[in-house]
């Protein structure tokens, strides 16, 4: 691996990851490659297969993005949006609404992170029921193995092992939260079932849970259209999202899609913005949707909440107001920069490129990784977002022992092979295996995807051999 020496202090002054050590630090990025400093050495030419956390759309060091940012900085004056708003936030909202299916959304608010967007969504959901004079509709449904953010409200609607230790500080979940099964075809679809059968079974189970919990007390149902880190890009089985939408209509619940990780161009078959457009007709659009990540493409920190006409109308015909807000909500500079970035993505058809290239990458991964006997049990995803789940045995799908940290080991081997991926641990109870996630830049080329696949296959083979030598596989 090419490396040049630098001096790096060992002690870290930041409170993150491994607290007392300086971990790998990105020092440069050009296109789909990054340079990373690790243990005093700089490693160039690392192919960025994950763009941070599925954030980068434009690739790194994009000259036009810098121009957009400079222009946005020159033309923006900070104001507190509750008191004085700005034109950029209006323009970004108009852009997102006009580039989504007609009638799906009618308003938007902008904030700083995906977690904040879900916190805001929860506030909007609560106020919506107050506006409709139905204060008892308080319960929030979300799925097993879900992740909706790092803040305590967002964690309260998340169900995954990493949330557990923080339970004392979450909502009173026994009262306000309801868990439904995840849609996880690889493990839970029976061999005798079609995708549609599996979806119907999940919908029937969800309906039973709704009925058991008094629908008149339920406020909303939240799912990730395509789950990200917590489950590893399991596509919703055919008919599943439509079935959830119908349940929400039947029992008067708000349908909330979290597209923070999978949305804003990463997984849309038509080169548009929303992942759900591949599964739902415009008339079945979510009532509320959260977005983030690729909205600012990593150049700025921005996320948002898209609000459907049903919710907007209830507010407008009720109090017609949102009292308060974050200091940096609708930040003019962030909104202007995000708008410029999204206009560039649209002009250059980059969302279509990532869908096509990403789909091809997924197909190549399936064909090559699954062709030999190794630790890969499943390759799954949509468009620009893919995962590999690792298992001890392809037939039984038995995950590796949690303590082996196979996902993290895989990430480290990929780094040695000059590929950045996200390695995620499995669940300690074995209900989900270790995973590696891929979400490259929207600008990737045929050569880039061939190179990603080559490096993934090499890494899978090397980890397989290591685990075999250790008697683990």
CB nearer ligand PLP, residue 292 or residue 308 = 292
- Each residue of 359-396: b (16+ CB within 10 Å) or e? bebbebbbebbbeeebbbbbbbbbbbbbbbbbbbeeee
CB 319 within 8 A of CB 287: no
Handedness of CA 293, 35, 356, 373 (dihedral sign): negative
Which H helix or E strand runs over 160?
Answer: none
From the CB of 134, what's the least distance to ligand PLP, in Å?
27
From the CB of 260, what's the least distance to ligand PLP, in Å?
4
CB nearer ligand PLP, residue 160 or residue 417 = 160
Number of C-beta neighbours around residue 435 at 10 A: 27
From the CB of 437, what's the least distance to ligand PLP, in Å?
10
CB nearer ligand PLP, residue 267 or residue 303 = 303
The residues of the shown chain that bind ligand PLP, judged by CB under 6 A, are 53, 113-115, 118, 147-150, 224, 228-229, 258, 260-261, 292, 303
From the CB of 194, what's the least distance to ligand PLP, in Å?
27
From the CB of 294, what's the least distance to ligand PLP, in Å?
11
From the CB of 170, what's the least distance to ligand PLP, in Å?
16
CB nearer ligand PLP, residue 259 or residue 378 = 259
Name which of 291, 338, 231 is nearest 104 in CA terms: 291
- What is the crossing angle of helices 406-416 and 446-469, to 10°? 120
Distance from C-alpha of 421 to C-alpha of 433, rounded to nearest angstrom: 16
From the CB of 381, what's the least distance to ligand PLP, in Å?
14
Dihedral angle of Cα 236, 238, 243, 244, to the nearest 10 degrees:
10
Distance from C-alpha of 129 to C-alpha of 319, rounded to nearest angstrom: 12
CB nearer ligand PLP, residue 118 or residue 392 = 118
CB nearer ligand PLP, residue 150 or residue 328 = 150
Distance from C-alpha of 427 to C-alpha of 183, rounded to nearest angstrom: 16
CB nearer ligand PLP, residue 130 or residue 171 = 171
From the CB of 433, what's the least distance to ligand PLP, in Å?
19
CB nearer ligand PLP, residue 224 or residue 389 = 224
Strands across the sheet containing 385-390: 376-382, 385-390, 435-438, 422-424
CB nearer ligand PLP, residue 294 or residue 417 = 294
CA distances in angstroms from 385 to 364, 375, 415, listed in the order given: 14, 20, 19
From the CB of 385, what's the least distance to ligand PLP, in Å?
10
3-state secondary structure of 12: coil
User: Which residue number has the CB closest to ligand PLP?
Assistant: 114
- Each residue of 88-117: b (16+ CB within 10 Å) or e? bbeebbebbbebbbeebbbbbbbbbbbbbb
CA distances in angstroms from 152 to 140, 145, 173, 260, 424, listed in the order given: 14, 16, 12, 17, 21
Residue 229 in tokens: 């880190």
From the CB of 262, what's the least distance to ligand PLP, in Å?
7
The DSSP result for 381-450, as a single string, is EETTEEEEEE-S-TTT-PPPPGGG-HHHHHHHHHHHTTEE-EEE---TTSSS--EEEE---TT--HHHHH
The DSSP 8-state label assigned to residue 14 in this structure reads S
CB nearer ligand PLP, residue 223 or residue 365 = 223
Residue 92 in tokens: 């970004």
From the CB of 296, what's the least distance to ligand PLP, in Å?
10
CB nearer ligand PLP, residue 3 or residue 152 = 152
């Amino acid at each position: 691996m090419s490396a040049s020496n630098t001096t790096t202090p060992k002690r870290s002054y930041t409170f993150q990851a491994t607290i007392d050590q300086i971990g790998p630090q990105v020092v440069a990025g050009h296109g789909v490659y990054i340079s990373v400093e690790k243990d005093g050495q700089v490693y160039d030419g690392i192919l960025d297969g994950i763009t941070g956390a599925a954030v980068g759309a434009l690739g790194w060091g994009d000259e036009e993005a810098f121009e957009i940012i400079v222009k946005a900085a020159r033309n923006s004056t900070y104001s507190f949006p509750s008191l004085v708003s700005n034109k950029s936030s209006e323009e970004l909202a108009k852009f997102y609404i006009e580039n989504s299916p007609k009638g799906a959304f009618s308003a938007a608010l902008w904030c700083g992170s995906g977690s904040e967007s879900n916190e805001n969504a929860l506030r909007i959901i609560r106020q919506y029921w107050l506006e409709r004079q139905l204060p008892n509709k308080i319960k929030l449904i979300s799925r097993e193995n879900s992740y909706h953010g790092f803040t305590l409200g967002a964690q309260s609607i998340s169900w995954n092992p990493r949330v557990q230790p923080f339970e004392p500080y979450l909502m009173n979940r026994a009262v306000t939260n309801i868990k439904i099964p995840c849609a996880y075809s690889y493990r839970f679809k029976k061999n005798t079932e079609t995708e549609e059968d599996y979806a119907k079974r999940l919908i029937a189970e969800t309906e039973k849970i709704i009925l058991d919990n008094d629908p008149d007390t339920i406020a909303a149902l939240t799912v990730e259209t395509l789950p990200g880190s917590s489950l590893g890009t399991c596509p919703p089985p055919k008919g599943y999202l439509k079935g959830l939408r119908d349940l929400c209509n039947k029992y008067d619940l708000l349908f909330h899609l979290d597209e923070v990780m999978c949305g804003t161009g990463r997984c849309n078959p038509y080169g548009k913005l929303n992942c759900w457009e591949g599964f739902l007709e415009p008339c079945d659009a979510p009532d509320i949707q959260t977005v983030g990540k690729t909205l600012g493409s990593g150049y700025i920190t921005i996320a948002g909440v898209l609000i459907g006409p049903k919710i907007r109308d209830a507010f407008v015909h009720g109090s017609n107001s949102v009292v308060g807000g974050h200091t940096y909500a609708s930040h003019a500079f962030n909104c202007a920069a995000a708008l410029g970035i999204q206009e560039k993505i649209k002009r250059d058809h980059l969302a279509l490129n990532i869908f096509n290239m990403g789909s091809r990458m997924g197909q190549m991964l399936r064909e090559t990784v699954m062709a030999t006997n190794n630790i890969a049990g499943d390759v799954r995803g949509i468009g620009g977002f893919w995962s590999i789940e690792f298992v001890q045995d392809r037939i039984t799908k038995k995950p590796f022992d949690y303590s082996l940290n196979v996902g993290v080991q895989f990430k480290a081997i990929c780094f040695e092979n000059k590929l950045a991926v996200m390695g995620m641990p499995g669940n300690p109870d074995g209900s989900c295996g270790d995973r590696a996630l891929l979400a490259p830049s929207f600008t990737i080329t045929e050569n880039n995807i061939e190179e990603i696949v080559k490096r993934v296959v090499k890494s899978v083979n090397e980890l397989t051999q290591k685990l075999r030598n250790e008697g683990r596989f």
